[in-house]
Structure 1
Amino acid sequence: MTLQQESIELDEAAVEAPSGLSEIAKRHLVMNFTPASKYREDDLPVFVRGEHCSVFDESGRRFFDGLAGLFCVQLGYTHGAEVGDAVRDQLAALPFQTTWSVTHPPAALLAQKLAELAPGDLNRVFFASGGGESNESAIKLARQYHITRGDHARYKFIGRRVAYHGTSFGAMSLNGMTDVRKMFEPLMNGVRHTHNTKRYRRPEGETAQEFTDFLLGELESLIVQEGADTVAALIMEPLQNAGGSLKPPTPEYFQGVRALCDKYGILLIADEVITGFGRLGSWFGSKHYGFQPDMITFAKGVASAYMPLGGVIASDRVIETVLDGPVGMFNHALTYGGHPVACAAALKNLEIMEREGVVENVAALSPYLERKLTEVATKHVKIVGDMRGDGFHRTFELVTDKTTKRWEAEPLNAGDFVGKYLNPALAEVGLLCRVAIDAEGNPLVQVSPPLVMTRDDIDEMAGLLDSAFGLATERSGL
């Protein structure tokens, strides 16, 4: 299958950036999760345009976007004009209307489309503006569902260690990332965390089924310990992003999680803010791994991030229970939930994805991507301890000691390697990806590229990773 490559002619004057934007941003713009050095010492990139899988800075230099913006630009940067036409038409017809006891065509039609794509009886859609709002909404929906049923004691939520679900108060409470949470604690009461599915550094000789049995046993033990009648919901990403592309060890894992939820009357929330809309080679990660959640939270890829949009897709059972309750409504609202312009962009995005076979492209090319990245890992075995993931979401975990599977401080600590050598090497070769030091002290290098990537693009991205690893190891003396 070949994806149609839409050629575009850019008016250079239209994308020419004013001078001094880097310094203006450093002075006035407070950036997301950005260290102080970016405001004071480091160069701050200014990107002014994009095309296919690449973005260009103000000097015209091209960077391969190996992270799809932030796990979200499914269509790459080529279809902005077509989506923009849909946005312009909607702005001309109806630039804004709420979904507070009224509706409009884009929201109604998008909800219908999402119900068609979602698994099982997930037929009801509440719209938000992004992933954090989506998870915040799911918290409130789960609580109201149980209260309506008379289960007032069910206020607890169980997530997984190192998982990330957002930065708002409730969503942050679900996070299993200590460094993100601790500055703002105390957070929402009653959140507990269980093991994630990371196999690297598990006991030698443990089988995937044994690991699955361990995870499910620990989860059930936690439910019982907390009091099953106090647990409202479990929230899990089908493939966990934070911690580095952590997929389920066996198909039985999520089937077992579903069975435990059914056994104890707990709702299962699939956080698909990243895994939704083709990232793993299926429309939803829950479909990909063969389990049925009670809710799916989504954002990012629904509109390829061309417009901000998110939401919750819930089962008929959950929504009808809430509507039949004493309040008579889902007692939650967002001004921009179901914004007509964002919904119009999402409808056009999904239309293009279906027309171009984008999800099928991921399924077809995932084995090739895995093979090429495995070649990179093998070539740089001196620092690559593990390469894992699924679909178009892969992570390299870097170590210096293969016995302990850890990055040891001597002769070079992880922070210095990343800051002084790896990040500069990636910038030099022109590759954007996510580099972080995980909770266990090991550097992670994560790629999650646009879903329109071709075999040639995979070759290019793998070659850039190869070059960056080579430069970093050579210059660091490792």
Structure 2
Amino acid sequence: MPTETIAPETSAAARESSELQDLAQKHLLMHFTGARTYTEAPPTIMVKGEGCWLEDEKGTRYLDALAGLYCVQIGYSHGEEIGDAVKAQMSDLPYYSNWGYAHPPAVRLAAKVAELAPDGLDRVFLTSGGAESNEAAIKLIRQYHQAKGEGSRIKFLARRNAYHGTSFAALSINGLTNFRKPFEPLMYGARHFSNTNRYRRPINETEEQFTSFLLHELEELIHHEGPDTVAGIFIEPLQNAAGSVTPPRGYGEGVRAICDKYGILLVADEVITGFGRLGEWFGSTRFGIKPDIITCAKGISSAYVPLGAMIASSDVVDTVLNGPAGIYMHGLTYGGNPTACAAGLANLAIMEREDVLGSVRHNEDYFRARMEELGSLGLVGDVRGAGYHWTLELATDKEKRSWDGPIDAAAFVANHLAPALLSAGVLCRAAVDQQGGGPLIQFSPPLIISRDEIDWLVSRVTGVLEEACAVLGSNDS
């Protein structure tokens, strides 16, 4: 396990890396990347991965404590095996569509995903990613209600501070206002309700009281909008963007009961929580959520290739197919791509062979304990999460559970926290919570991370947070 940084050399490789950075600044429009990267600090260019570690063009190694973007479940060392599966499929059939046709890898992957999914979810629509999966679910739900003669059901409810993608309909149900605002007006009828973050709730509130509050608020929103206008509700089993937020006891069952009461379809967005992140194939199983539809991506292929899926019940699908249109009116050129499906099947086979989910279950308590140790540090106000998905929320005033300076939270994250974590060799998410305003540090590593690597991570983050305390203590602005 590497613990040192290799010094950059004035070699041909180093000169090439500078050329790559220059070319990236001139030609590569990067995702969610600030303007400074194109003019001042050039992007880090990763060239190699092994296990849970990445190496940049200068030879510096980093522990990938975010599994890329919550997706590289099996780490970076299985490229040859998955590549062999892709190569074999390329030789037989490199491409054909699922528009009225099928091919072996799509059929087998759909059957495998249905086998792993919660009971009753057995129809699989293949996509290239999470936003596509959520778009597919929204369209299926609209057609479902039309087929039942309830065309007035056009509204979708989702939680505040939730991320569901950046395509049109998926962005509309996002609970992150800063993502939505530049592109409004978006899809009509998206409404938002409270998430399950307990950090700033009343101290004496019990878990049962919190559940009651959340369910009452949701039911009130449905009544306010009109039950006959609400088509679907989207929730994540563990909410990512708000910082590893888990539901209180009875919440999943309560949301299911509300959906049944008012004829609303329930969607579990498992783009992040699916395929082992929480020690189960799907996070819905862990938290007692019984959705009509699951959307997923990321871990289905460990992101070795772009791949996603919408998993629905036969009742929902058959209602649409037996409706006036006689067809699910949605399609994607690359949905169910044969080579992508071959890679997905190979990834799932590796996960089963290596008992990756068992490893998460075996190490979760250890991971939790090490995270809670970080909670004793001066700046850490809250530690929350489950499985291999954990967040530290920082606070300058632990009693008030607030960030009151002396440095603005956004400036602190951009100018101090994020650069310090990168310098320490840790790749993770450093952000500002839109709801509470405090900095977040989020960890969601490959599911193969070892206890020694968890120890290394905690040691490096401890140093970063101790340094941050010194920075805040010495700042006079």
The TM-score normalised by the length of structure 2 is: 0.95
Q: For residues 17 and 307 of structure 1, what CA distance do their matches in structure 2 show?
A: 27
Q: For residues 351 and 85 of structure 1, what CA distance do their matches in structure 2 show?
A: 13
Correspondence 1:353-368 to 2 at 5 A: 353-368=351-366
Q: For residues 457 and 161 of structure 2, what CA distance do their matches in structure 1 show?
A: 27
Q: Is the 8 A contact 1:15 1:49 kept in 2?
A: no
Q: Is the 8 A contact 1:16 1:58 kept in 2?
A: no
Correspondence 1:183-262 to 2 at 5 A: 183-250=182-249, 252-262=250-260
1:415 to 407, 410, 417: 410
Residue matched to 1:7: none
Q: Is the 8 A contact 2:14 2:58 kept in 1?
A: no
Correspondence 1:387-466 to 2 at 5 A: 387-409=383-405, 411-439=406-434, 440-466=436-462
Correspondence 1:279-358 to 2 at 5 A: 279-358=277-356
**Further displaced range: 85-94 or 104-113:** 85-94
Instruction: Could you tell me which runs of 5 or more consecutive residues in structure 2 were left unpaired when the two chains were aligned.
Output: 1-11
Deviations 1:27-68 (A, max 9, x none): 111111111111111242000000000000001111000000
Matched AA of 2:453: D
Q: For residues 75 and 237 of structure 2, what CA distance do their matches in structure 1 show?
A: 23
CA displacement at 1:23 relative to structure 2: 1.3
Deviations 1:128-148 (A, max 9, x none): 111111100100000000001
Answering whether residue 142 of structure 2 is matched by residue 147 of structure 1, we say: no
Matched AA of 1:359: L
CA displacement at 1:474 relative to structure 2: 2.3
Query: Quick one: percent identity of the two aligned structures?
Result: 55
Q: Is the 8 A contact 1:154 1:231 kept in 2?
A: yes
Residue matched to 1:4: none
Residue matched to 1:383: 379
Q: For residues 403 and 279 of structure 2, what CA distance do their matches in structure 1 show?
A: 32
Q: For residues 273 and 381 of structure 2, what CA distance do their matches in structure 1 show?
A: 24
User: Any idea what SS the aligned residue of 2:441 has?
Assistant: strand
Q: For residues 33 and 372 of structure 1, what CA distance do their matches in structure 2 show?
A: 31
Q: Is the 8 A contact 1:237 1:271 kept in 2?
A: yes
Q: For residues 463 and 280 of structure 2, what CA distance do their matches in structure 1 show?
A: 31
CA displacement at 1:289 relative to structure 2: 1.0
Q: Is the 8 A contact 1:54 1:62 kept in 2?
A: yes
Q: For residues 335 and 420 of structure 1, what CA distance do their matches in structure 2 show?
A: 42
Q: Is the 8 A contact 2:65 2:427 kept in 1?
A: yes
Q: For residues 312 and 163 of structure 1, what CA distance do their matches in structure 2 show?
A: 18
Q: Is the 8 A contact 2:22 2:42 kept in 1?
A: no
Deviations 1:111-153 (A, max 9, x none): 0000000001100000111111110010000000000110010
Q: How many residues align?
A: 462
Correspondence 1:66-215 to 2 at 5 A: 66-215=65-214
Q: For residues 14 and 78 of structure 1, what CA distance do their matches in structure 2 show?
A: 23
CA displacement at 1:17 relative to structure 2: 6.2
The TM-score normalised by the length of structure 1 is: 0.95
Matched AA of 2:425: G
Q: For residues 202 and 441 of structure 1, what CA distance do their matches in structure 2 show?
A: 15
Q: For residues 204 and 453 of structure 1, what CA distance do their matches in structure 2 show?
A: 35
Matched AA of 2:419: P
Supply the RMSD in Å over aligned alpha carbons: 1.5
